Structure 1
Amino acid sequence: MVPSIIWFLLSSFILFNTKNLGAVALTSPQDISALKAFKASVKPGSIQPWSCLASWDFTTDPCAFPRRTHFTCGITCSSDSTRVTQLTLDPAGYSGQLTPLISLLTSLTILDLVDNNFYGPIPSSISSLINLQTLTLSSNSFSGAVPNSITNLKSLESLDFSHNYLSGYLPKTMNSMSSLRRLDLSYNNLTGPLPKLPYNLLELALKANFLSGSLSKSSFDMLTRIEVVELSENSFTGTLEPWFFLLPALQQVDLANNSLTRVEISKPSNANSDLVAVDLGFNKIEGNAPLHFADYPLLSSLSLRYNRLRGRIPLEYSRKKSLRRLFLDGNFLIGKPPPAFFAPDTSVSGSLGDNCLQACPGSFQLCMPSQKPSSVCKQAYGGKPRS
């Protein structure tokens, strides 16, 4: 009789090898072709020996398990080990162009090539990845236009092409991307106006481009869920109208470093608003400091610095309990600042400096830097500014 321990070892050996035999040649041939083309498009000299791509050895099946020596990272496969569902590269400095044959990976839900050196155009064939939910090509060197075909990705929830060299207009049919929640195309060379935006967006980031024109209500039509809008460092002009800050879910706004000339603010309906932070600094905004910002119950940070504001600082700003950061420096504000800003229990930080204020105590950090010379203030007001 064979000892039980020998039977145990023998049966374990048979089971292990049976599982391995069943794992051979599982991956879909079209996925293998796509992976081979993808690796072939990467310059060999940019594939470090310790990197994910270095472990891609096609003498073995990509989805075979366990992956002890080959395909140790970079891909994730479906539960039946037949399709590649994720392609997520390590930031190893890979260089090359993104092959159009990437379109063969039709079961991909995530494509993430962040922090590498891929260059050239984004292939329009990427629109064949109909199951894609997350597309991240940020911090590479992609150039050319955002392909119009990108709007065919109806399942896409997050799109991040930030920190590349993309140029041209945004696709006109972006609003058809009904599943899109997060869009980040910041730090590119995009031009033109904003198109109509996807109505389910939660976060919009297009800062540091060359976008222009006015902010049209039609672009934001039906965006009832938008929480974050980052459009700083562009060339937007004209008036920011009352509808903008009444977007019902809006929390954070950054429109600094544009060429806006006017801001119109209405009271939120029933004093109901989630707005927390607003940055409108370094524009060309004229007129008085918008009074109704004080009616937004949760507003804690407000920057209107380095614009062309005149008149007095609204007393309502100093009475606002939620306000913690206030930057009004670099304008032409006059009169005495509200004394509540200098009370021992004040919680407001920021700057009221570089204005035309009177009696702004130099011993307070809030009054730094010093006020403008009286000659500059007189010139701005066509004579002596009223106190």
Structure 2
Amino acid sequence: MGTFFSISVVVVVVFFLCFVHSTDYAHALTAPSDISALKAFKASIKPSSIPSWSCLASWDFAAADPCASPRRIHFTCGLTCSPDSTRLTQITLDPVGYSGTLTPLLSQLTQLHTLDLADNYFYGPIPSSISSLLNLQSLTLRSNNFSGSLPSSIANLKLLQALDLSRNSLSGFLPGAMDSMSGLRRLDLSFNRLEGSIPRLPPNLLELALKGNSLSGPLSKSSFDGSTQLEVVELSENSLTGTLRSWFFLLPSIQQVNLSNNSLTGVEISTPAAGQSDLVAVDLGFNKIQGYAPVNFAAYPLLSSLSLRYNRLRGKIPLEFGKKKSLRRLYLDGNFLIGQPPATFFGGQGQVSGSFGDNCLWGCPPSSQLCLPNQKPSSICKQAYGGKPKS
């Protein structure tokens, strides 16, 4: 009797646990549309590029459901599901060298808010159907081999906050409707093959990075209309031309600017109203800027780093630069500056680092690191000034 009772209890307990498990699994089933999208996503990746220990290797649709838990063997990483375990909300692949194309069927993952495939070998175009991911907040395809143009339909992603497509092979022009992406805060399209001018920017953008492309023409004020929150502008290594007008440095939130390695020929600097500015760092090195060193930079109260190296500047180093207490880095090398540098730079306190070398200065103390490399030969300086440069 006792043995029969014990066996009966065990059977009941096992049946109960199986019932609970099957019930939980039934409620954990991922939406069929999400499963078909994931299957297509994995099928578009070359099997030879999927290491046995990687996230994708654990995606076994025959053995488990993507959102079922616990994930001890299958779907161990790379995916995040909604609280009710029915929809995919995040795909974040490990950077192990996956190689393949991006399937248009990803558009079925309509609850996805994060897609991160960075540091792999995905190639081919970015499908325009990605614009159907209306809940997407972060799109990171950095350091792959995507090519073709940036789909204009990407402007439909109104909730997108961060877009990083840097270090690919994207070409063509920037979409003209990018200003409609009202949620975008960070945009990085650096190191691609983009060309043309910069369209009007999203109004709430904080950081803009477009370095290492083939953007051309002058910077237009209309591109930055409404950019009241823009803090960081990284446009180095392009083909921008013309004069950088004073409105640019008066953008209300601007803090860091890098426009080095372009073909700018001039720069206008206005004094900020009531001395109010958050500008901290400016790099205009390796352009073709002519004229005198822009003294009005000294009126920006927080400026600590300024580079105007390897341009075509003439005249003396402004005394105001030597009096500016916030300045910590100053690069003026590779110009045609003349005269004697302000003595305040050589007070022995070592407050400012940088270089005044490769100019036409005299009286620059050879013992100071600021005076390296050596000044230009006098013959070059005379030729640049049409005779002996005047002090």
Q: Which residue number corresponds to residue 48 of structure 1? A: 51
> For the structure 1 residues 247 and 9, does the alpha-carbon distance in structure 2 shift closer, same or farther, using more than 3 Å as the test?
farther
Task: Choose from 107, 112, 129 the match for 1:103.
Answer: 107
Structure 2 distance, partners of 1:9, 1:134, is 50
Structure 2 distance, partners of 1:270, 1:123, is 49
**Cα deviation, residue 346, structure 1:** 3.6
- Letter of the 2:201 partner, please give it: L
Task: Choose from 163, 171, 178 the match for 2:175.
Answer: 171
**Cα deviation, residue 87, structure 1:** 0.6
Structure 1 distance, partners of 2:118, 2:11, is 46
Task: Choose from 374, 377, 389 the match for 1:373.
Answer: 377
> For the structure 1 residues 12 and 276, does the alpha-carbon distance in structure 2 shift closer, same or farther, using more than 3 Å as the test?
farther
**Cα deviation, residue 362, structure 1:** 1.0
Task: Choose from 301, 304, 307 the match for 1:300.
Answer: 304
Task: Choose from 116, 126, 130 the match for 1:122.
Answer: 126
Q: Which residue number corresponds to residue 78 of structure 2? A: 74
Q: Aligned pairs, how many?
A: 386
Task: Choose from 244, 260, 269 the match for 1:256.
Answer: 260
Structure 2 distance, partners of 1:314, 1:9, is 91
Task: Choose from 231, 234, 250 the match for 1:230.
Answer: 234
SS at match of 1:309: strand
CA contact (8 A) 1:159 1:183 kept: yes
Task: Choose from 138, 141, 163 the match for 2:142.
Answer: 138
**Cα deviation, residue 14, structure 1:** 3.6
Q: Which residue number corresponds to residue 33 of structure 2? A: 30
**Cα deviation, residue 17, structure 1:** 5.5
- Letter of the 2:58 partner, please give it: S
CA contact (8 A) 1:340 1:346 kept: no
Could you give the per-residue CA deviations for residues 331-368 of structure 1, whole angstroms, max 9, x where no partner exists?
00000000010101240000000000011111110000
Structure 1 position 182 matched with structure 2 position 186: yes
CA contact (8 A) 1:20 1:65 kept: no
- Letter of the 1:41 partner, please give it: S
> For the structure 1 residues 17 and 88, does the alpha-carbon distance in structure 2 shift closer, same or farther, using more than 3 Å as the test?
farther
> For the structure 1 residues 354 and 20, does the alpha-carbon distance in structure 2 shift closer, same or farther, using more than 3 Å as the test?
farther
Alignment of structure 1 residues 268-283 onto 2, 5 Å? 268-283=272-287
SS at match of 1:341: helix
Q: Percent identity?
A: 70
Q: Which residue number corresponds to residue 201 of structure 1? A: 205
Structure 2 distance, partners of 1:206, 1:325, is 24
Task: Choose from 321, 338, 351 the match for 2:342.
Answer: 338
> For the structure 1 residues 378 and 75, does the alpha-carbon distance in structure 2 shift closer, same or farther, using more than 3 Å as the test?
same
Structure 1 distance, partners of 2:69, 2:53, is 20
Could you give the per-residue CA deviations for residues 145-176 of structure 1, whole angstroms, max 9, x where no partner exists?
00001000011000000000000000011101
SS at match of 1:23: helix
**Cα deviation, residue 21, structure 1:** 3.3
Could you give the per-residue CA deviations for residues 283-304 of structure 1, whole angstroms, max 9, x where no partner exists?
0000011011001111000000
Structure 1 distance, partners of 2:220, 2:322, is 32
How does the TM-score come out when normalised to structure 2?
0.96
How does the TM-score come out when normalised to structure 1?
0.97
Q: Name whichever of 24-33 and 187-196 sits farther off.
A: 24-33
For structure 2, the 5+ residue unaligned runs are: none
**Cα deviation, residue 20, structure 1:** 4.8
Q: Which residue number corresponds to residue 247 of structure 2? A: 243
**Cα deviation, residue 269, structure 1:** 1.1
Could you give the per-residue CA deviations for residues 129-154 of structure 1, whole angstroms, max 9, x where no partner exists?
00000000010000000000100001
- Letter of the 1:23 partner, please give it: Y
Structure 2 distance, partners of 1:355, 1:12, is 87
Structure 1 position 215 matched with structure 2 position 219: yes
Structure 2 distance, partners of 1:10, 1:385, is 102
Structure 2 distance, partners of 1:20, 1:49, is 29
**Cα deviation, residue 327, structure 1:** 0.1
> For the structure 1 residues 263 and 13, does the alpha-carbon distance in structure 2 shift closer, same or farther, using more than 3 Å as the test?
farther
SS at match of 2:360: coil
**Cα deviation, residue 82, structure 1:** 0.3
> For the structure 1 residues 359 and 57, does the alpha-carbon distance in structure 2 shift closer, same or farther, using more than 3 Å as the test?
same
Structure 1 distance, partners of 2:130, 2:207, is 23
SS at match of 2:130: helix
**Cα deviation, residue 16, structure 1:** 7.5
Backbone CA RMSD of aligned residues: 1.9
**Cα deviation, residue 22, structure 1:** 2.0
**Cα deviation, residue 225, structure 1:** 0.1
Q: Which residue number corresponds to residue 83 of structure 1? A: 87
> For the structure 1 residues 8 and 323, does the alpha-carbon distance in structure 2 shift closer, same or farther, using more than 3 Å as the test?
farther
Alignment of structure 1 residues 57-72 onto 2, 5 Å? 57-59=60-62, 60-72=64-76
Could you give the per-residue CA deviations for residues 184-206 of structure 1, whole angstroms, max 9, x where no partner exists?
00000000001111010000000
Could you give the per-residue CA deviations for residues 95-149 of structure 1, whole angstroms, max 9, x where no partner exists?
0000000100000000000000000000000000000000000100000000001
- Letter of the 1:375 partner, please give it: S
